[in-house]
């Protein structure tokens, strides 16, 4: 009996100078596809045996598990939507009717951040946990983390958030040393650990790593750029792919910043930018099949440069909490299909999440897009804004109220001019009418442990 418990992958250090964590990231797409379809067939056989949830759904759709052999065959199946997962969870707590492994085989659980009500709880078997670590290791590696690196953990470590324990496990798995303070540990503690341990990399949310850098002179008596950090790995919210925010992070830290993307239901991270910083590669195609849904036509479209749509995910190496054709609500744009790094997975940018999308007089508006425009207007603005969605649901026929902080050096007497400038920029770039209120710099709380919430449901009391 093999009783070895390993925390680190045994060959981690052989990969230090490799071009990618796994060779499949560089494989020709026809080879990747063959591997995906082999795994798809195995996954279907597993679900046929173990998932009453999908047995029922397949029966309703009149499809046999054995009929699903290719990526195109998936189109015979209905989508799995988030409300179904929520209903399944409520009907059979804690892991839902879609749990497809014995409770005795589950070694770990995570929780989604869940914008409404209870979070979704996700179960992992040992094999699932390994798959998550492998996918995340590929991301960290693409982002520039190397075996032997110290990595300051500035994502939240609490509440079951995937940026916590799973990120820690992936750093350890790939041969790094995670400095496990967490955003919840507070800025003082994080900066102190940074000064003491001098990590080469930091992982965290983009707005939070900016905040951390801004606090360094006050708490440590030195600039963040003097601390020897070489890589900032950001995710969990938009920002890392927005040039103005990336530039700010890189300037403050004197380091390179790369972005990654995941999403609890499928893993910690499976999209990641390489050194070229021109979009996030899909690095885990042998674990997840991705389809791109054009929401306007309802059709699945190819990953071609310029294609836009919602990501649909099918986990093909998943036991405890399987998902078939899961509608993620993540909207992406394909930025490219080839890259100097040699990775063959398409490169994307996440343009927003359907959960966050507002519809202003028929125009789709993502809060992150407004944030990006306001950021581009620094130093006239302080790069900080809030949307006041003081209406039912996500749709309004009126102008959208946006509160923008003026730049710290700007004269308040010229607010009327700034208001007009922001409104014009927003109309030109995003095609909607905004009603902008200008407020003083630092009116709103700086980003802390929680994600920055861009949308307020009522107009705040302003000083």
Which parts of this chain interact with Zn ion (CB under 5 A)? 274, 276, 339, 341, 343
Nearest of 222, 166, 167 to residue 198 by alpha carbon: 222
Beta bridge partners of 438: 404
Residues 6 or more apart whose Cβ sits within 8 Å of residue 101: 50, 123, 125, 319, 320
Q: State the nearest-atom distance from the C-beta of 343 to Zn ion, in Å.
A: 5
CA atoms of 200 and 197, how far apart (whole Å): 9
Q: State the nearest-atom distance from the C-beta of 18 to Zn ion, in Å.
A: 14
> Which C-beta is closer to Zn ion: that of 225 or that of 278?
278
Sheet holding 434-439, edge to edge: 434-439, 400-406, 381-388, 455-456
Alpha-carbon separation of residue 218 from 12, 25, 55, 211, 214 (angstroms): 38, 43, 59, 12, 8
Q: Are 279 and 251 in contact (CB under 8 A)?
A: no
Q: State the nearest-atom distance from the C-beta of 305 to Zn ion, in Å.
A: 14
> Which C-beta is closer to Zn ion: that of 152 or that of 339?
339
> Which C-beta is closer to Zn ion: that of 221 or that of 306?
306
> Which C-beta is closer to Zn ion: that of 214 or that of 276?
276
Provide the sign of the torsion angle of the four alpha carbons 174, 176, 180, 186, taken in this order: negative
DSSP strand pairing (231-234 vs 201-204): parallel
Q: State the nearest-atom distance from the C-beta of 391 to Zn ion, in Å.
A: 42
Q: Are 370 and 358 in contact (CB under 8 A)?
A: no
> Which C-beta is closer to Zn ion: that of 100 or that of 339?
339
Q: State the nearest-atom distance from the C-beta of 279 to Zn ion, in Å.
A: 8
Q: State the nearest-atom distance from the C-beta of 145 to Zn ion, in Å.
A: 15
> Which C-beta is closer to Zn ion: that of 26 or that of 399?
26
Alpha-carbon separation of residue 59 from 62, 63, 302 (angstroms): 5, 6, 28
């Amino acid at each position: 009996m093999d009783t070895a418990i390993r925390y680190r992958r045994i060959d981690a250090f052989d990969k230090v100078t490799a071009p990618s964590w796994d060779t499949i990231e560089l494989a020709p797409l026809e080879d990747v596809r063959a591997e995906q379809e082999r795994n798809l067939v195995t996954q279907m056989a597993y679900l046929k045996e173990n998932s009453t949830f999908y047995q029922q759904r397949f029966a309703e759709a009149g499809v046999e598990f054995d009929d699903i052999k290719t990526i195109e065959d998936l189109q015979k199946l209905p989508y799995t939507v988030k409300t179904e997962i929520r209903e399944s969870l409520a009907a059979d707590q804690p892991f839902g009717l879609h749990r497809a492994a014995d409770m005795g085989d589950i070694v770990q659980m995570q929780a989604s951040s869940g914008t409404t009500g209870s979070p979704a709880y996700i179960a992992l078997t040992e094999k699932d946990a390994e798959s998550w670590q492998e996918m995340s290791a590929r991301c960290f590696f693409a982002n520039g983390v190397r075996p032997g690196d110290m990595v300051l953990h500035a994502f939240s470590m609490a509440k079951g958030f995937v940026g916590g324990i799973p990120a820690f496990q992936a750093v350890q798995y790939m041969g790094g040393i995670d400095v496990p303070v967490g955003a919840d540990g507070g800025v003082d503690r994080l900066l102190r650990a940074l000064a003491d341990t001098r990590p080469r990399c930091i992982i965290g949310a983009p707005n939070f790593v900016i905040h951390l850098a801004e606090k360094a002179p006050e708490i440590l008596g030195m600039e963040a750029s003097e601390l020897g950090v070489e890589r900032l790995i950001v995710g969990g919210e938009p920002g890392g792919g927005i040039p103005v925010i990336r530039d700010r992070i890189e300037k403050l830290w004197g380091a390179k910043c790369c972005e990654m993307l995941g999403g609890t239901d499928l893993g910690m991270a499976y999209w990641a930018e390489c050194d070229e910083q021109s979009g996030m590669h899909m690095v885990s195609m042998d674990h997840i099949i991705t389809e791109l849904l054009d929401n306007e036509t309802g059709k699945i479209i190819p990953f071609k440069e310029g294609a836009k749509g919602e990501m649909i995910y099918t986990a093909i190496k998943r036991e405890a909490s399987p998902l078939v054709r899961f509608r993620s609500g993540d909207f992406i744009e394909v930025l490219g299909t080839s890259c100097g790094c040699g990775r063959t997975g398409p490169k994307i940018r996440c343009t927003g999440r359907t959960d966050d999308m507002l519809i202003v007089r028929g125009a789709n508006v993502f809060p992150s897009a407004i944030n990006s425009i306001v950021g581009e207007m620094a130093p006239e603005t302080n790069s900080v804004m809030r949307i006041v969605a003081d209406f039912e649901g996500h749709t309004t026929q009126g102008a959208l109220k946006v509160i923008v902080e003026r730049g710290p050096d700007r004269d308040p007497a010229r607010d009327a001019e700034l208001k007009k400038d922001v409104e014009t920029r927003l109309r030109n770039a995003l095609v909607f009418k905004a009603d902008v209120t200008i407020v003083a710099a630092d009116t709103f709380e700086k980003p802390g442990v929680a994600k920055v919430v861009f949308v307020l449901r009522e107009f705040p009391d302003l000083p």
